[in-house]
Amino acid sequence: MEELRSVAVTAAAGVQGDFRGAVRPGKKPRRQISLMEIESWRAALGDLEICGGLFGFDEPAWHARRANLLVEGLRCPRETGYVLAIGRTLRIEVTMECDPCSRMEEVAQGLKHALLPDWRGGVLGTVLDDGEIAVGDEIRIER
pLDDT digits 0-9 by tens, 113-138: 999 999 999 999 999 999 999 999 99
Residue 94's domain comprises: 6-142
Residue 54 backbone dihedrals phi, psi, to 5 degrees: -55, -35
101, 124, 141, 114: CA torsion to nearest 10 = -10
| pLDDT value, residue 50 | 60
Closest CA to 95 of 14, 8, 1: 14
| pLDDT value, residue 128 | 97
Q: How many CA atoms lie within 13 A of 41 on its CB side?
A: 22
Residue 64 maps to a domain: yes
Residue 94 maps to a domain: yes
Residue 137 maps to a domain: yes
Residue 102 maps to a domain: yes
Residues β-bridged to residue 125: 33, 94
If you average pLDDT over residues 105-118, what whole number do you get?
94
The residue among 38 and 18 whose pLDDT is bigger is 38
Domain holding 69: CATH number? 2.40.33.20
Residues β-bridged to residue 140: 85
Residue 111 maps to a domain: yes
Task: Count up the domains in the chain and report the number.
Answer: 1
d(CA 102, CA 4): 25
Residue 67 maps to a domain: yes
Q: How many CA atoms lie within 13 A of 142 on its CB side?
A: 12
Highest mean pLDDT among 10-14, 29-33, 62-66: 10-14
Q: Residue 51 pLDDT more than 60?
A: no
Residue 1 maps to a domain: no
Residue 71 maps to a domain: yes
